[in-house]
Structures are given as structure tokens and as C-alpha cells.
Amino acid sequence: MRYLDRLQPLALLVMRLALGAVMLAHGSQKVFGNLHNFSHMVSGMGMPVWLAYVAAFTEFIGGILILAGFFTRPVAFAMCIDMFVAIWKVHWHNGLTGSQGRPGYELPLALISLAFALIFFGGGPIAIDHVLRGGGGAMKRS
């Protein structure tokens, strides 16, 4: 199964693209459509209003950065925190798959899992991070 090991960079790219696309979509909904309502929802849960802006821009800007593979590890860490709070404060009481038309925590759980893996694996060789570290050139011979 050594040939599958060679596809690990592709797997990291797919993980980044999935996480980045979903976070960008959800963040853009908050930033461009509902930031006022979102901030009221956050304050209604007993959290400071400024955390709504942090969450919205973590999802929006973080989604863009994850897609590009730029600052992958710190952004993935921020997304883990964002999704943990979403599960804890919004979705947990609805159960895994939801109840009474309210979404469960299955999507935030999947997203936190992707982000958690990217903290440890990084963005992989198909990422801006890798190029900036000097790994973007031809493979070096030993």
C-alpha cells in the first residue's frame, strides 16, 4: 500500500478544501448578510458581542486562508475553538443529528475534526505554507 502514501498530499489538500469551503460559506453568510442578527444571538447566549465578530471573521477570513494553505496551523486552531463554542453553546442540546427542526452538532463535529487534524499535519506540500518554507521547488536529492 506504499502507493497510497504518495497520495497523502492530495488527502491534505482535500481536507483543506472541504474545511475552507464550508467555513468560508458560513462565514460569508454571517459577515455579509447577518452580522447584526448573529451578534444579537451571541449576546443572547451570555457572551460578549465582540465574540460574534471574532467568530464571523474567523470563519470567513480563516476559510480563505485554509483554502490557500496559508497560516494553516494557527487558523485551524482558531477554527477548532470556534467550532467547540458552536457545539457547546448552540448545538449540543439538539443532539448529534438535531431535534425539532434544529441542527445537531454533526457538522461542527466534522469540521472540528478536520481542523484538529490540520493542526498536527499542517497544510501539506500543496499549500502556500510549504512554498514559503522553501519546499516549493524541485525535490532535493539525498
Residue written as cell 448552540? Answer: 90
Domain ranges of the chain: 12-130
Choose among 34, 23, 4, 17: nearest CA to 108.
23
Residue written as cell 448578510? Answer: 33
Residue 56 is which amino acid? A
Is the whole model's pTM more than 0.85, yes or no?
A: yes
Q: What is the mean pLDDT of the chain?
A: 93
Kindly indicate the confidence band of residue 136, based on its pLDDT and cuts at 50, 70 and 90: low
How many C-beta atoms surround the C-beta of residue 121 within 10 A?
A: 16
Residue 137: per-residue pLDDT: 56
Rounded Cα distance between 64 and 50, Å, is 21
- The vertex-121 CA angle with 115 and 123, nearest 5°, equals 75
Alpha carbon 82 to its chain's center: 8
Residue 129: per-residue pLDDT: 94
Q: Which three cell numbers stand for residue 122?
A: 499542517
94 Cβ contact list (under 8 Å, min separation 6):
100, 102, 103, 104, 105
pLDDT tens for 36-71 read 999 999 999 999 999 999 999 999 999 999 999 999
pLDDT tens for 66-106 read 999 999 999 999 999 999 999 999 999 999 999 888 999 99
pLDDT tens for 6-26 read 999 999 999 999 999 999 999
